[in-house]
Structure 1
Amino acid sequence: MKWLRSATLMGILSLALLLGGCSSLDQLTSDSGSSTTSSSDTTATAGNVKGTYAALAKQDYKSGSAAAIKVNSGKSTLKASLWKHSKIDYGNLDSLNRTTTDTAYLSKANLGRSAGRTAQTWSPTGWHNQPIKVNGKRVYPQNRGHLIAYTLSFNLTNTGVYKAGEDGSLDNPKNLATQTAYSNQKTMQIYENQVRTALEQGKKVIYRVTTVFRGNELMPRGYWSQAVSTDGSVNFNVYIWNVEPGVSFDYATGRGKADASMQVAGADKVTTSNNTSNRYSSKRPTTTKQVEKELAKYGYKYVKKAYNHAK
């Protein structure tokens, strides 16, 4: 009967992937680091950064699926022991002038306030700042999105070196990419708030963000974000889709158009009490458990649930 159970499991997994919109990177990475195959026949391992990046870049967002998905079962591959002092390693722009990876080693000293920030002048690749009418309203669906949040980068120079009195990284080309308003102001802030809260509590955090591009496209498909605190209280690894409800984008150019069929599951749900705020402190921070609870509704646990049911 073992073959029958295996066949049943494969059927359930296929159905689960359809229901979940292929929304689990647990099919691409694993805690043990063994290779697994995604729906697009792409393989990657937990310790293989290039392979995981390539797998992420090939994924297509399915309208109505989760705003973020797990990488490596949601666990960071960063080593907390590498934290020595406050700094940010800004990755160089690539040959197309696109951002790459920024890794921040943060403490409470790096928190700052966003009041009175100056205007941003740098235009990242794919940036158009074009207004679009969505449901009759004129909206600007693109932001200049920071890889490392402005409010997490104080007392550090634009080269990432500690220097007391320095303002945050506001207009640094190595820290800005074209991000949708929803991805920037909603989903990403759930995870930024976890980092911010840990720093407010005096903890030290390593926080890494990689912009994921497909081929020579100018607008990122998503943001691969992970963090770990030295005490282990913060530990996440996610891929944040660069999508906007009601708008579809040509990622090759960054230009968007109104598209009523483009929906983001939890567009009005995956939020935190202050997740659209740029304030220094969150009185009611969103915890990892709350994030898990919200995102569980939108797809990435379908496969795990189906597997457990078939056992």
Structure 2
Amino acid sequence: MIIILGGYAYQKGYLGSTNEVHTSQTKVETLATSQTHTSSETSESNEVTSNSETSESNEVASNIDTNEYKEIAAKNFTSGSLAYETINQNKSTLNANDWQQEKIEYGNLDQLNRTTEVTAYLSKKNLGKSETRSEQIFKPTGWHNQPRIVAGNRIFPQNRGHLIAYTLSFNIDSNGNYRQGELGSLDNPKNLATQSEFSNQKTMQVFEGKVRNALSQGKNVIYKVTTVFRDNELMCRGYWAQAVSTDGTLNFNVYIWNVEPGISFDYATGMSKVDDTINVQNVYVGREYNKTYKSYKK
């Protein structure tokens, strides 16, 4: 039986093919579905986040507008729609006067070990290059990156998506404090979520590019990204991104759909399957970044 939900087609009882189910993650998925969690079975990544990053840092308690967050979380993507939609008439609710110095405030992980929000106070000093990236190993909630064949091409539908891009977070340490010589935020659990390949490498690039351009012009920018989850789902439905420069020339407030053309996701678990009914209007016109070779595709 096929169920259409928010533009996605799901097969009743679908949990992905048997080769998608991994023992180390099945407990997390089962617990998320039943909403019953025990200290011994939440997620292997709990141990990863209990490290020195929790002390002397710019961590903050979540400051999310709960009502607006719920309204956004209730939205459903309709196949064929634009890859993002504007919030608050595309005007940020950030206060440009809050910019004082370069730093990043990492929101604490929630009770399901999911990212919440990250707010970055950036200048030209924080720009860096992708060529310095190294391998990522942290597995965020909902991570099941099994290859799929879409339109004859083999793709990996999921990426480890940064809330604040690697290339926007140089000279800031893992605690969010300014420190000259630091590379960008790469494998920080508080800055990573399971993001679709399309959302990460195309749609997100549009708005990260706006921030990058403003910084390269010497402007100071506040850039905030919130992962939007519905209930106890382990993969976020989208990324709520907003930015404002201190001179007011940069100002946007958007919701980026966490979707992939030709793929439907079970957001409760992060599992995926090929679905040729899923189409997304692409807004990215730049070069595609090839993560394997750390360069832009020609």
TM-score range, shorter chain: 0.7 to 0.9
Are the aligned partners of 1:87 and 1:160 in contact in 2 as well (CA < 8 Å)?
yes
Hey, what does 1:273 align to over in structure 2?
286
- Please, which runs of 5 or more residues in structure 1 have no aligned partner? 1-20, 22-46, 283-311
**Deviation larger for 248-257 or 47-56:** 47-56
Residue 69 of structure 1 corresponds to which residue in structure 2? 85
User: Which residue of 127, 131, 139 maps to 2:155?
Assistant: 139
Of the candidates 242, 254, 264, which is equivalent to residue 226 of structure 1? 242
Distance in 2 between residues matched to 1:147 and 1:48, nearest whole Å: 15
Q: SS state of the match for residue 259, structure 2?
A: coil
Q: CA deviation at 1:133?
A: 1.2
1:115 counterpart SS class: helix
Residues 164-211 of structure 1: CA distance to partner in whole angstroms, max 9, x if unpaired?
A: 011110000000000001101111110000000011111000000000
Aligned with residue 199 of structure 1, among 185, 190, 215: 215
Q: Distance in 2 between matches of 1:137 and 1:101?
A: 34
**Residue 106 in structure 1 maps to residue 119 in structure 2:** no
Counting only pairs closer than 5 Å after superposition, residues 140-179 of structure 1 correspond to structure 2 as: 140-179=156-195
**Deviant stretches of 4+, over 3 Å:** 274-278
Paired residue for 2:69, among 43, 48, 53? 53
The runs of 5 or more residues in structure 2 that have no matched partner are: 1-6, 8-62
Taking only the aligned residue pairs, the percentage that are identical comes to 61
> Are the counterparts in 2 of residues 154 and 166 from structure 1 also a CA contact under 8 Å?
yes
What does residue range 214-253 of structure 1 map to in structure 2 within 5 Å?
Answer: 214-253=230-269
CA contact (8 A) 1:189 1:275 kept: no
- Which TM-score applies when normalising by structure 1? 0.72
Tell me which of 200, 224, 238 is aligned to 1:184.
200
User: Is structure 2 residue 109 aligned with structure 1 residue 93?
Assistant: yes
Q: CA shift at 1:274, angstroms? A: 3.7
1:25-83 superposed Cα distances (whole Å, 9 cap, x missing partner): xxxxxxxxxxxxxxxxxxxxxx9821110001111111111110010000000010000
Asked if 1:264 corresponds to 2:280, the answer is yes
Counterpart AA for 1:87: K
Q: What is the RMSD computed on CA atoms of the aligned residues?
A: 2.0
Structure 2 CA distance, aligned partners of 1:216 and 1:180? Answer: 19
The reply to whether residue 123 of structure 1 matches residue 139 of structure 2 is: yes
1:152 & 1:277 partners in 2: Cα distance? 18
